[in-house]
Every structure is written in C-alpha cells, then in structure tokens.
Structure 1
Amino acid sequence: MSLSTTIDTDPSVRVAATVAETGTNRRVPSGRGGFVHPGFWLAALYLATALAAGLSLDGPIATLIATIVFIGGGMPHGAYDIALLARTGRLGRHGLGLAVGGYVGIAVAMAAMWVMSPLVALILFVAVASVHFGEDWTMIDEPLLKVAAGTAIIAAPAIGHPAEVARLFVAMVGGAGGETVARSLIAVAPVALLVTIVGISDAWRSGAREWAAATAVAILGLILAPPVAGFALFFVFLHSPRHLADARITLGGVSQRWWLATGAALSVAAIGGWLVFATSLQRFLPTDLTAQAFQLLATVAVPHLVFSRWIERRLARSGG
C-alpha cells in the first residue's frame, strides 16, 4: 500500500503527514490510535496516589475542585468550532453568520430544555456524549461499536459508584427519572465495556500502545475514582488534548497568543452566558454546582458534535 493511499484512508495519518510537511514538532494523532498528552500520565499518577493514600476525593471541596478542572480544562476543546467554521471557506460573511447563529441557537435550545424537559435533556446528553467519545476510537470502523465504546465512558462511573451517579442525575433532572437513566447505564455497561476492551486490544496490536494503555487507565479511573474526579481525568487530560491537537493543525499557522486568547475568550463567554441564564432561572435549575456544570457541558456538547461533523465534511471536500 502506498503512502498516499494510507493517508487517504486514515484521517489521523493525514493529520500527522500534514504536520510533517509543515516541519512542526507537535505531537499529533498518528496511525489508528490517538494523541496522548504527557499531562495525562501525571494526572493519572496523582489520582492513583491519592486513591492509594486514602485521600477523600468525593468530599464537597474535592468535588468542587474536580468540577472546576473539568469545566475550565475541558471547555476550550470546543471553543475553536467557530474559528474552524471560518476555516472551511466559501461560506462568506452571510453564510458564516448563519452558521454561527445556528450554533448558538442549538446551545440556547439545549439550555431551555434543561428548564422545560430536563429528563429529555439528560437522555440527549448521554446519547451525544456516547457518540462524541466514540469518535476517539479511530481503530474501530463500525459506527455502532464506536458508540458502544463511547458509552463505556459514561457507564463506567455508574458501575463503580452507582449511588453517586444516581444522585448526580437526579439533581440534574430534579426527579427520579435521573435514577432510571443511571440504572440503564449499568444495564448496558457490560456490553459497552466488552467493546472497549476489544478496541483497546486492537489498538495495542496495531501499534497504538500509548493510546491503548491511556484508555485502559482512564476506564479504571472512571470505575475506581469518584465520578467527578474520574471524569475530569478522562475529559481534560485524554479526550480534550486529542481534539485540541487536531484543531491546532487544521487552523494552520496561528500564533500562540491568538490560540490562547481565542480559547480563553470563547470559554469565558460560554461560562458567562450560562451564569446569566442560571441566575435568571435559578428556581428551575439545581442548586448543586456540579450538576449545573454537567448541564453546561451538555448545552455546548450538542452543537459541538453537530458542527464538528459538518466541519469535517466541508474540510474533506475542500482538501483542507
């Protein structure tokens, strides 16, 4: 098989090849595995040490810290969607305005759903998260298997800490429906985890051993650590860096200052918008800050998933 054929059939290889051509030294996704930031191993070591030492990671302060970590560290990976929309080209100012309006409109609709139909919003969030996290599994070709692997990320905490996950979901929806969703995740967890084990084995055999090992560690963290701490490890230190690396390469030679300022400004705008929304409608939303943080994450995750797929298709057509 020629190099050009390999690049055409595997987008992650194409990204790595693009970096090689531009002469940069950044680590990016390669082969049929994925990008693992060195910070993941440091965070995993810290979490493992804390668990081994018997430190409390599920108390109010520890949970608040983990919440701040997954919001502050995870939000930026979707903050470049608007910049990527402009990068797709041929939209024009009017088309770009419509696309941005659509992006914001979906987020507003999702936020409104947390007030009008929170149980539906939670189910949609779980579904979207399963699809989005499944996209990390480039070594799996079957879409349903990707979704199953993505579902394992959501289901793993429900296995290790069913009561805590149920309490969080109940707080998010304001009723017993949240517990039903938690039990449903436990029911599908065995199949989802089995698919994940197959994916990890395939990644290891195909040479993506760092990705396979990191994913196994993340899954164990989601099962063993308190739910918010385990999710912060996966979301901030494994999932987000992969997408940030892709976005940085796609956007080309942007300066470090522009990159940091854009991520910070759009993340602050999203968080600020939610604070205004939550303050205005506080009697309809949970008082639990972690539950609200997950609601915010869900609110931006839906448009992120929709537009990231659209962006990928446009870039593929334009050869970007």
Structure 2
Amino acid sequence: MKAIVHTNPKGMEGMKVQSFESPVLKDDEVKVQLKAAGLNHRDLFVLHRHGEDEGPFVVGSDGAGIVMEIGSSVTGVSVGDEVVINPGLGWQKNSPAPPEGFGILGYPSNGTFAEEVAVPSNQVEPKPEHLSWEEAGVLPLAALTAYRALFTRGNLQEGDHLLLPGVGSGVITFILQYAKAVGAKVTVTSRSEEKRNQALKLGADDAIDSESDWIEAMNGEKADLVIESVGAATFPKSLDQVKPGGTVVTFGASAGDEITINIRNFFYGQYNLLGSTMGSHEEFKEMLTFIKKYNIKPVMDRTFSLDEAHEAFKRLEDAKQFGKIGFTI
C-alpha cells in the first residue's frame, strides 16, 4: 500500500511517500480502507521523537474509511461499515486522567496516512452522516480534545464567557463552535487579522490582536474560562484575564512550555488550573452525538494528496492554517 513513512533522519527530512506492507490483522482488530485522514501537531512532534534505533513507521492519527476486513473475535462491526477512528488507544471509560498504557495511534504503532490501517474494533464508530469523507477524516483527535477540554474539564455553561488565545488550530475552531452551540460568549485572540476575521465569521463575539493590551481590548471584562494551547507566549496574559474563581484549562504548549506565575496572586484569586489531553472512548461517543445534534462540521483549511505530504506538513509547521488540514486518500 502507499503510505507516508518516517525513517531517519529526524524531522521532515526523514519522511517520504513509499510502498509499505499492508497491516496484518489481529483477532480483535478491523482493517479500514482509508478514504481521508487529518493532520495534527502531534504528527510533526513524532517526527522528532522517533528514535534512530526504531524501525520505520506510518505517520498519522486521524482517519475515516470503510471496514474491509474484521478479525475472528470481532462483533458489532461488519465489512462495509463506514467508520471514524478514535486514535486514543486503551482509554475506554471516562476517568480523571488517562489510564496506564494509554497511547495514540501513529507512533509507535503504524498510523493513518496510508491506504489501509488496522485498529482494535472498539476504536471505531459509525461515520456521522452529515460529514463528508474529508470532514470525517480530520475530525477525531481535535474534536475529542476540544470536547474534553471544554466540557469534561472546563465545565462550560450557557452564558459563560470563554477566552480562546491563538485561534486557528483545529482544536480551537472546534471549541469555538461547541461553545457557541451551547450559548456561551467567546473572545478569541490572534496576531493574524485574517484569522481574527475568520473567527468572527465562525461565530466569535470578539477577536482581539494577541499583541495588544488584552485588558484594554476586553474593556476590563474577565473570562469565566480560558482554554490555553499556545503556552508560554500567552499564558501569563491568559491568567490575567480570568475572573476570581475562574478556570484555565491547558492542553498544549506550541509556543513554549515553561512559565512563571505569582503564586500569591493565584491563590488569592482562587483560580483553577486544569490539564487536559485527548479523551476517553466514552467521551468520543458523546462528542459524536453532540456534533450530530448541533450539525457541527470541522473547519476545513486545505486538503492534500499523500504525495503532497511535505507541503501539508510545512503548512502546519508554519501555522498558516485556519482549521484542519486533511489528506484525501
């Protein structure tokens, strides 16, 4: 099969499109003929984590396609089913944190940037009918991450004011749509005027320049909840914008992971600081029900063929995207 494979050296230099052995099915797995897949920042990170002593692997966590074969012990899934793949492995029931052994498809296991992939049968769910193949292919990781961060961890309620620094990523565009669906007020930030305008068109109530004075730009209004994925570049300003007793949920650190905070101000402010990552399969099913109820679709940036892998990865690395980058397979 054709696949995007990483060997060595580290980074994109070690990535190429080539023929790769078709997956061998285990008893509890299904083999999916992939129709589309989605690119995530994790796919960039694993190109640098891949050790020189490790063998080649197929990159990619997100995907959707048609079940082409099932293992001997599989029930509840049939050949011909149209499915989306939950890339979070080994986390079935909701819990305060991922269980020991939790992993993500696409490193060290072979992933979805290929014509076929084998996954445990309990990792697939029916493809939402209102989504195209490209939309379904980019959905899973970002939509699940957004759902847990906003609802399970952030406990967003109707009427809450949500602040989203660094709008543009797939996860943040999902969070924006989710929050508006349940009646929250949403303020976003970005250095890019184009991305601010796109966020307003998507439903944001206000969009401010990340490099401006946030207190002035928000007219002194504080947020009930901030969801942080940028990291060191914005975190201190984000914390300054939280109401006393408010919450910051963080799931990423694309612009640095070391910060300094004033502990005295933090405990006097009675703030909550919560981490979040991915989500359980239970939450994955809840997320699918939610997006179907509110007719939510991924914001599509661009789609590429597998042969255009380097162009797609470079667009993500340069943060040029608004929404999700996908592969049509």
TM-score tier by shorter-chain length is under 0.3
Task: Choose between structure 1 and 2: higher helix proportion.
Answer: 1
TM-score normalised per structure 2: 0.26
TM-score normalised per structure 1: 0.27
- Which of structures 1 and 2 has the larger relative contact order (alpha carbons within 8 angstroms, sep 6+)? 1
